[in-house]
Amino acid sequence: MLLERGYNDLGIQDVLKATGTPKGSFYHHFSSKEAFAIGIIDLYMETVHAGLDMCLDDPSRTPLARVRRFFELSRDKYQSEGYLGCLLGGVGQELSGVNPVFRKKIDECLTYIGARMADCLEAARIQGDLPPGADTAHLAQLLIDCWEGAALRSRLRRSPDPLDEMLNFYFGRLAIA
């Protein structure tokens, strides 16, 4: 509902009705709509952490293939959900310019994902799949930035094409770097 409607158009009454939750129970767990949305982001990040662990810790793939696999699975998830895109990107685009709590939270989440990617890219560098002087932290943050832009375009077009094109471009450039 948060991705479909956005934070500003999502009413607590709608959430209560859709989930069959009494108002008192909601406010027992969440002090505000903002706290509720932060809780949703935390829950979303649990799924992201599991995906990162599954993909980036997979010894059967090369480090670069592990990184790409995470994004391919994300693409597939977006498609199965009707191209609503990334919760972090959606909420971040809507609120980061006006709400410092969300700006900080979203930045922390994306930074964490980037750090995990950087570790895997560093393994690729050590293995010789990236140039010896490659700045893997920068490459990881660039990957996250490109992905979020492609996720927005995918949502607009209701198509996986922008995501696939971004991955092909990014990993193609790594291969010739």
pLDDT of residue 174: 84
Asked if residue 20 is part of any domain, the answer here is no
Asked if residue 63 is part of any domain, the answer here is yes
The CA distances from residue 47 to 36, 41, 151, 166, 170, in Å, are 17, 10, 17, 23, 24
Q: Looking at residue 171, which CATH number applies to its domain?
A: 1.10.357.10
Flag whether pLDDT at 177 surpasses 60: no
Asked if residue 9 is part of any domain, the answer here is no
pLDDT of residue 65: 97
**Which residue's structure tokens are 């479909």?**
4
At 109, the pLDDT band (50, 70, 90 cuts) reads very high
Beta strands of 68-135 (E only): which ranges? none
**C-alpha count within 13 angstroms, C-beta hemisphere, residue 74:** 30
Asked if residue 49 is part of any domain, the answer here is yes
For residue range 1-38, list pLDDT tens digits in order: 888 888 888 889 999 999 999 989 999 999 999 999 99
Asked if residue 29 is part of any domain, the answer here is no
Asked if residue 172 is part of any domain, the answer here is yes
Handedness of CA 150, 158, 46, 97 (dihedral sign): positive
Is pTM, for the whole model, over 0.75? yes
pLDDT of residue 96: 84
All residues at 6 or more sequence positions from 92 whose CB lies less than 8 Å from its CB, including other chains: 102, 103, 106, 110, 148
**Mean pLDDT to the nearest integer, 105-109:** 95
Q: How far is CA 21 from the centre of its chain?
A: 28
Asked if residue 77 is part of any domain, the answer here is yes
pLDDT of residue 152: 93
Locate 103 and state its tokens.
Answer: 């700006």
How many domains are contained in the chain?
1
DSSP string, 28-50: HH-SSHHHHHHHHHHHHHHHHHH
For residue range 110-161, list pLDDT tens digits in order: 999 999 999 999 999 999 999 999 999 999 999 999 999 999 999 999 999 9
Asked if residue 66 is part of any domain, the answer here is yes
Range of the domain at 124: 35-176
